[in-house]
Structure 1
Amino acid sequence: MSSDMPVNKLDASGIVAFDLIDYKPDLEVVVFDIREHLYMEMIIKEKEFRESVGKMDYTAFHGKAVAVICSVDAIIPPWVYMIIGERLHAYAAYLSFKDPVELETELWAMNVNNVDLSAYKDQKVVVRARAGIPPALYMLAAKRLAPFVKTLMYGEVGMPKVIYKK
Structure 2
Amino acid sequence: KVSQSPLITFNLEDYLPPRMTELDLCTLVGDDVLREAAFRNTLKANDFSAYQNTVVRLYLSEDLIFPTWAPILLSGRLADLGIASIWAPNSETFWSQYFREVLGKLDYSTFKGKPIVLKGCGDKRIPRDAYVQAIQYLKPVAKKISYGEACSAVPLK
TM range (shorter): 0.7 to 0.9
The TM-score, its normalising length taken from structure 1, stands at 0.74
- Give the distance between the partners of 1:92 and 1:149, measured in 2 at CA: 34
Residues 55 and 19 from structure 1, CA distance in 2 versus in 1: closer, same or farther, beyond 3 angstroms?
closer
Identity of aligned residues (%): 22
Does structure 2 retain, via aligned residues, the 8 Å contact 1:29–1:100? Answer: no
Aligned pairs, number? 154
1:152 aligned to which of 142, 145, 148? 145
1:111 correspondence with 2:97: no
Q: Does the aligned pair in 2 maintain the 1:31–1:66 contact within 8 Å?
A: yes
User: 1:43: Cα distance to partner?
Assistant: 2.7
1:48, distance to aligned residue in structure 2 (A) = 4.6
Larger displacement relative to structure 2 (106-115 or 73-82): 106-115
Alignment match, 2:7:
15
- 1:129 and 2:103 aligned: no
| Structure with greater Cα Rg | 1
Q: What is the letter of the counterpart of residue 79 of structure 1?
A: W
Q: CA deviation at 1:162?
A: 1.0
Residues 25, 111 of structure 1: 8 Å contact kept: no
C-alpha distance in 1 between matches for 2:43 and 2:106: 38
- SS of 1:88 mapped into structure 2: helix
Secondary structure of 2:33's counterpart equals coil
Change (3 A) 1:23 1:37: closer
- For structure 2, which runs of at least 5 residues remain unmatched after alignment? none
Q: Which amino acid aligns with 1:18?
A: F
Q: Which residue of 2 aligns with 1:43?
A: 33
CA deviations on 1:60-95 (whole Å, 9 max, x unpaired) are: 223432222111111112332343234333224212
* CA–CA distance in structure 1, aligned partners of residues 95 and 82 of structure 2: 14
CA RMSD, aligned part only? 2.6
Tell me the amino acid that sits aligned with residue 70 of structure 1: L
